[in-house]
Amino acid sequence: MTSAILVLPGDNIGPEIIDEAVKVLRAVIVKFGLDVEIKFADLGGAAFDKAGEPCPSDTMALAHQSRAILLGAVGGPKWDGLERELRPEQGLLKLRSQLGLFANLRPAIMYPQLCTTSSLKPEIVSGLDILIIRELVGGIYFGEPRGIRVLENGEREGFNTYKYSESEIRRIGRVAFEAALIRGRRLCSVDKSNVLEATALWRETITELASEYPAVELAHMYVDNAAMQLIKEPKQFDVVVTGNMFGDILSDAAAMLTGSIGMLPSASLDKNGRGLYEPCHGSAPDIVGTQKANPLATILSVAMMMRYSFHRTDIADTIELAVNEVLDNGLRTPDIMSDSMTMVTTREIGDAVTARI
Ligand code: IPM
Ligand code: MG
């Protein structure tokens, strides 16, 4: 695999946050003498506007040639009226699926400096450190058959298929057990096995896998209870593993525990360590061009890239330390603003982190 990094700014605030993350990326490349090349391409609505499709073949070809991909965000009302296959989100789903990026890691970490920005009481969230591992290329997001059909009575019916094979479950299960081993050694598998067969098989398969990881304490939870427990007592969780749709929902909830989804990075990995790194938040069309977007989730995604695709813990630590120092200094975008802090722009946050690299 080459050492190229492909940058996909995407839509709305995507280019603004990517500008700052790329500044940080270039700074670590210089400081640590990394031999990598940065390339840029379009994805999402930006790609549709230029090429008529959300994930054009040249973007896909560059992605296949890269070790890591850094993505801003895709989507926005401008493209909502398009046919489903042409929508920006489909570009992202195609990229995830064609690159086999099955393991989505979404850490929800409470930065002590932001403890009062969470909507929950500080004692509930202080010290929070959860890793949600979401299966990303299967489940109901990709299950066939799917569609909208006309019934005999003339009424339309929408349908999707929720399915997981044992090998798909084992593959994501292993990532989760391995992650738990190097963290707090506790894994909670989330399913709806009281109602859905596909997730009953999920529970059975994860339970079988547990015999290979005796050092990890495995628990199971239904997704509705997990949603409640995340809000009630989030610190009971260490690593959470779940399917595509439940992971989408629970990771947004977990993000809000930390004060702002603007702080949450993510990594989506294939079996060889190629990864797509992106903030967990969306493209925020309401604040595009205002310099109000928080670039830290994207900057922290660069740290994850260094850790998982380049195996450079030292560089990841440097970036995370720089982010911590910027928060210590009281610089805040509106989403993480609190009393006596200094409100600054997207660019000022990016510059401040870069200066500390
Ligand atoms: C996410 C997003 C995506 C998803 C959308 C944009 C398709 O919500 O990464 O969580 O549902 O996976
Ligand atoms: Mg989501």
Q: Which helix (H) or strand (E) holds 4?
A: strand 4-10
Ligand 1, residues at Cβ distance < 6 Å: 75, 89, 92-93, 248
**Catalytic residue from among 192, 292, 308, 335:** 192
Assess whether 121 carries a catalytic annotation.
no
- List pLDDT tens digits, range 72-85: 999 999 999 999 99
Q: Cα separation of 209 and 187, whole Å?
A: 12
Q: How confident is the model at residue 20 (pLDDT cuts 50, 70, 90)?
A: very high
Residue the block writes with tokens 């990075």: 265
Q: How confident is the model at residue 341 (pLDDT cuts 50, 70, 90)?
A: very high
Task: Quote the mean pLDDT of the chain.
Answer: 96
147's tokens: 């569609």
Q: Cα separation of 271 and 57, whole Å?
A: 23
pLDDT for 343 beyond 70 = yes
Gyration radius of the chain's alpha carbons: 20
- List pLDDT tens digits, range 275-292: 999 999 999 999 999 999
Burial of 246 (0-12, 13-18, 19+ CB in 10 A): buried
What average pLDDT does this structure show over 64-74? 97
Spacing, Cα 76 to ligand 2 middle (Å): 14
- pLDDT score recorded for residue 256: 87
The atom number, within ligand 1, closest to the CA of 96 reads 12
DSSP string, 274-335: -EEEEESS---GGGTTTT-S--HHHHHHHHHHHHHTS--HHHHHHHHHHHHHHHHTTEE-GG
- pLDDT score recorded for residue 15: 98
Distance of alpha carbon 337 from its chain centroid, rounded?
23
Assess whether 49 carries a catalytic annotation.
no
- Contact, 315 vs 292, CB < 8 A? no
Q: How confident is the model at residue 331 (pLDDT cuts 50, 70, 90)?
A: very high
Spacing, Cα 334 to ligand 1 middle (Å): 23
Q: Cα separation of 274 and 167, whole Å?
A: 20
Q: Cα separation of 37 and 27, whole Å?
A: 13
Q: Cα separation of 234 and 127, whole Å?
A: 10
Burial of 342 (0-12, 13-18, 19+ CB in 10 A): exposed
The atom number, within ligand 1, closest to the CA of 252 reads 10
Question: Candidates 92, 252, 256, 298: which one to mutate for ligand 1, based on the most atoms within 8 Å of Cβ?
Answer: 92
352's tokens: 């401040």
Kindly report the protein residue whose alpha carbon is nearest to atom 8 of ligand 1. 248
Kindly report the protein residue whose alpha carbon is nearest to atom 7 of ligand 1. 89
Closest-approaching ligand to the CA atom of 253:
2
- List pLDDT tens digits, range 31-40: 999 999 999 9
Q: How confident is the model at residue 1 (pLDDT cuts 50, 70, 90)?
A: low
Q: Which domains does the chain have, with CATH numbers?
A: 1-103+263-357 (3.40.718.10), 129-257 (3.40.718.10)
Kindly report the protein residue whose alpha carbon is nearest to atom 9 of ligand 1. 280
What average pLDDT does this structure show over 178-186? 97
Burial of 160 (0-12, 13-18, 19+ CB in 10 A): middle
Closest-approaching ligand to the CA atom of 279:
1
pLDDT for 100 beyond 60 = yes
- List pLDDT tens digits, range 234-263: 999 999 999 999 999 999 999 889 988 999
Assess whether 192 carries a catalytic annotation.
yes
- pLDDT score recorded for residue 2: 64
* Global confidence as pTM: 0.95
Assess whether 252 carries a catalytic annotation.
yes
Spacing, Cα 251 to ligand 2 middle (Å): 7
**Catalytic residue from among 19, 39, 163, 252:** 252
